[in-house]
Amino acid sequence: MDEHDHKGVISKARKQLADVFEESEQSVYIYLDDVNKACNERFASLLGYGSPKEWASVKENFPEAFVSPKHRRALVSAYQDAITSLVGSTISVNWKKKKGGEVATTTILVPVVVDGHRMALHFISPS
């Protein structure tokens, strides 16, 4: 599977979930890998990014870029459970803001499969 295929999968998932991304009262993002992810305006704004596109353009290691060190293990573990066992979960995550600081949240991970690719849809609410 090459990078172009992953980009297409995220694009397709984003289109299929357009109502969720645009109408949910929660912050939402979907994650396939560090490069292939998409979020809604609420999540980008929550973390201090100007747009979902700006947030998605961050290509560094996802947990290091966006998650407080004390919550990285929990998020990675919940993501692994979602993609390997198709198990949803609810965890506490402190997200790193673009210009410093953190925001405490409750994060719900839901497994999603698009064209055979397992990924996780995340719903985030400030705690």
DSSP string for residues in 29-76: EEESSSSSEEE-HHHHHHTT-SSHHHHHT--S-HHHHHB-GGGHHHHH
Q: For 8-36, what is each residue's pLDDT tens digit?
A: 899 999 999 999 999 999 999 999 999 99
Q: For 39-56, what is each residue's pLDDT tens digit?
A: 999 999 999 999 999 999
What's the average model confidence in pLDDT over 96-101? 98
Contact 40, 49 (CB under 8 A): no
**For position 5, what pLDDT does the model report?**
78
What's the average model confidence in pLDDT over 65-69? 98
What domain range includes position 107?
Answer: 3-126
Q: Which amino acid is at 14?
A: R
Which of the residue ranges 5-19, 53-67, 70-84, 98-112 would you say has the lowest mean pLDDT? 5-19
Tokens standing for residue 2: 């090459």
Structurally, the chain folds into a number of domains equal to 1
- The rounded percent of the chain whose pLDDT value lies above 70 is 97
Q: For 68-78, what is each residue's pLDDT tens digit?
A: 999 999 999 99
CATH code, domain carrying 78: 3.30.450.20
**For position 8, what pLDDT does the model report?**
87
**For position 28, what pLDDT does the model report?**
98
